[in-house]
């Protein structure tokens, strides 16, 4: 064969092989890039489905490969924000802003996180920037109004709420918020107008009638106030504040008979709602195996449900129908048997620490959780602990006081978990302490498999 022809053939084959390798490298790089893009897309879809932890895992895969995409940091920041991890959310929104400083949403959400952390100056700076970038950003006006409310700058808050209503005039909650501020600043006529607009937009909650009635009362329009209080009582006949204010309105009109009638009804209602502790009738409750016994008010409601194979009791003045219902006041009680067969538990002290660790883990996503005191004790010669704590799920939720009473008997755990809103715990706490003092066990609870203390 001609050497030149042979060389040409070899050269062509070499070029072809090099092209194959280069093409493979390009295709592999393209495939990896597509996989990373898919991770971001999957993360955003999981975010929409409110699977925030799953979304973070997917978006993390993308960010490892590409740290120049503002949307990745922004969406991961949203996940952290919805999980109430505001510091991590702020970090991600900041990264998004560094990459693209012209996105109003990034500033708005970072401002909202700063607001939740009570960093009001930082929140205002971010929200001001968001509004500068988008002068029709209704949500940013609402968030900035919230900051002004917390700094007691009510006139500026009213101005921002009014701006928000220009761009979203059919939001009853914004009218209700502005109405409350008008009432607080003694602009009762405007408060009445806004509460009326709330009702026109379909929000006919009894509190709207009650609040408008209060504004009428401040304007000395007592008959209009009575009309609204009466409307509220149709839905909430046992609300003591409404009944009290209607009594005051009747009295101000000179209708002493109706005022006295409402006062008598109020007195009877309060005696039913918060009866003297000494007058409460008690009832004995127990678990399905009759191992633990304790006393709770006889007229409270009992609900039983399965929690991962363990029966729990909810005893509450509220009517809790299923385990997904929320309740404000009451007790959750349960038994965990043979915990040592599942977890590395060697002593009753380990059992107590196991419970405390699981509680700590479950409260990580709460806006606020703080232990006020912890008291170790012995019951029937076994380990027990009483914990008093405060918790708040989100900044918009009511803050609760709680008592947790845990008793470890060998490798079996008994728990009573009491809760009530902070503003009524002084009363309900007395009931809870009486329940704790009444706890007793059947002898059968003491003969379970022994483990060394």
Q: Tens digit of pLDDT for each residue in 319-353?
A: 765 444 467 789 999 988 888 788 777 788 888 88
What was the pLDDT predicted at 35?
66
pLDDT of residue 353: 83
Residue 207 domain boundaries: 39-273
The domain spanning residue 361 has which CATH number?
A: 3.40.1000.10
Residue 16 lies in a domain: no
Nearest to 332 by CA among 310, 348, 350: 310
The CA-based dihedral angle spanning residues 289, 294, 295, 299, taken in that order and rounded to the nearest 10 degrees: -40
* Residue 203 and residue 288 share a domain: no
Residues 110 and 253 in one domain: yes
Higher pLDDT, 217 or 2: 217
Separation CA 223–CA 256 (nearest Å): 14
* pLDDT computed for residue 192 by the predictor: 97
User: Do 210 and 241 form a contact (C-beta atoms < 8 A)?
Assistant: yes
- pLDDT(17) > 80: no
Contact 450, 410 (CB under 8 A): yes
| CATH number, position 72 | 1.25.40.10
62 with 96, same domain?
yes
156 and 298 assigned to the same domain: no
Mark which of 252, 273, 294 sits at the end of a domain.
273
pTM of the model: 0.58
Q: What is the pLDDT of residues 148-203, one digit of tens each?
A: 998 999 999 999 999 999 998 999 999 999 999 999 999 999 999 999 999 999 88
What's the pLDDT score for residue 117? 87
Residue 387 and residue 416 in one domain: yes
Please give the order of strands across the beta sheet that includes 282-286.
Answer: 282-286, 292-297, 440-441
292 and 206 within one domain = no
In a domain, 104, yes or no: yes
Inter-residue contact 309 to 344 (CB < 8 Å):
no
Q: Are residues 80 and 196 in the same domain?
A: yes
Q: Is residue 33 part of a domain?
A: no
> CA 242 to CA 322: how far, in whole Å?
30
**Same structural domain for residues 77 and 130?**
yes
User: Are 182 and 158 within 8 A, CB to CB?
Assistant: yes
Assigned domain for 342 exists: yes
At which of 245, 273, 301 does a domain end?
273
Task: Let me know if residue 30 belongs to a domain.
Answer: no
pLDDT at 172: 92
What is the average per-residue pLDDT within 234-248?
86
The predicted pLDDT at position 8 comes to 43
Q: What 3-state class would DSSP assign to 313?
A: strand
Residue 25 has a pLDDT of: 43
- Exposed / middle / buried, residue 216 (Cβ in 10 Å: 0-12, 13-18, 19+): buried
Looking at residue 445, its pLDDT comes to 55
**pLDDT tens digits, residue range 205-220?**
888 999 999 999 999 9
Residue 8 resides in a domain: no
pLDDT digits over 50-101, tens only? 888 899 999 999 999 899 999 999 999 999 988 878 899 999 999 999 999 9
Domain count, the chain: 2
**Per-residue model confidence as pLDDT tens digits over 385-425:** 899 998 888 765 678 899 999 998 887 889 999 998 877 78
- Do 252 and 318 lie in one domain? The reply is no
Residue 107 domain flag: yes
| Residue in the block written with tokens 């329009």 | 221
Q: How far is Cα 57 from Cα 39, in angstroms, rounded to an integer?
A: 9
Residue 2's pLDDT is: 46
**Mean pLDDT, residues 214-241 taken together:** 92
In a shared domain, residues 197 and 99? yes
Rounded Cα–Cα distance for residues 284 and 430 (Å): 17
Boundary of a domain, candidates 254, 273, 292: 273
CA distance 306 to 270: 35
Same domain? 241 vs 303: no
**Is residue 287 situated within a structural domain?**
yes
pLDDT confidence tier of residue 20, bands split at 50, 70 and 90: very low
Pair (303, 362) in one structural domain = yes
Does the pLDDT at position 306 exceed 90?
A: no
pLDDT digits (tens, 9 = 90+) for 247-277: 999 999 999 999 999 999 888 877 767 788 8
């Amino acid at each position: 064969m001609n050497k030149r022809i042979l060389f040409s053939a070899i050269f062509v084959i070499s070029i072809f092989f090099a092209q194959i390798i280069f093409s493979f490298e390009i295709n592999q790089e393209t495939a990896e890039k597509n996989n990373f893009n898919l991770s971001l897309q999957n993360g955003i879809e999981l975010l929409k489905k409110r699977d925030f932890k799953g979304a973070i895992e997917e978006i993390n895969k993308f960010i490892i490969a590409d740290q120049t995409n503002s949307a990745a940091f922004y969406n991961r920041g949203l996940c952290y924000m919805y999980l109430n991890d505001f510091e991590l959310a702020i970090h991600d929104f900041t990264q998004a802003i560094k990459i693209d400083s012209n996105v109003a949403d990034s500033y708005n959400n970072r401002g909202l996180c700063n607001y939740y952390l009570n960093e009001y100056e930082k929140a205002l700076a971010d929200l001001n920037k968001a509004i500068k970038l988008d002068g029709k950003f209704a949500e940013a006006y609402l968030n900035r109004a919230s900051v002004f409310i917390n700094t007691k700058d009510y006139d500026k808050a009213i101005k921002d709420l009014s701006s928000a209503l220009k761009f979203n005039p059919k939001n009853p909650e914004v009218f209700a918020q502005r109405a409350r501020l008008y009432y607080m600043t003694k602009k009762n006529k405007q408060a009445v107008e806004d509460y009326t607009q709330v009702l026109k937009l379909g929000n006919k909650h009894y509190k709207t009638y009650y609040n408008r009635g209060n504004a009428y009362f401040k304007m000395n329009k007592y008959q209009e106030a009575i009309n609204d209080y009466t409307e509220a009582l149709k839905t909430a006949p046992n609300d003591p504040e409404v009944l009290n204010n209607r009594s005051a309105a009747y009295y101000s009109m000179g209708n002493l008979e109706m005022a006295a009638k409402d006062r008598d009804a109020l007195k009877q209602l309060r005696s039913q709602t918060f009866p003297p502790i000494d007058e409460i009738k008690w009832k004995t409750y127990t678990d399905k195996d009759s191992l633990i016994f304790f006393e709770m008010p006889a007229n409270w409601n009992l609900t039983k449900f399965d929690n991962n194979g363990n029966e729990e009791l909810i005893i509450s003045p509220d009517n809790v129908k299923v385990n997904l219902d929320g309740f404000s006041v009451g007790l959750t009680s349960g038994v965990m048997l043979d915990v040592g067969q599942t977890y590395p538990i060697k002593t009753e002290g380990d059992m107590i620490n196991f419970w405390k660790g699981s509680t700590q883990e479950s409260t990580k996503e709460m806006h606020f959780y703080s232990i006020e005191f912890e008291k170790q004790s012995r019951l029937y010669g076994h380990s027990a602990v009483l914990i008093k704590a405060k918790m708040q799920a989100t900044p918009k939720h009511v803050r609760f006081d709680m008592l947790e009473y845990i008793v470890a008997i060998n490798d079996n755990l008994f728990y009573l978990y009491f809760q009530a809103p902070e503003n009524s715990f002084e009363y309900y706490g007395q009931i809870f302490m009486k329940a704790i003092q009444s706890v007793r066990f059947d002898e059968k609870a003491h003969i379970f498999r022994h483990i060394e203390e």
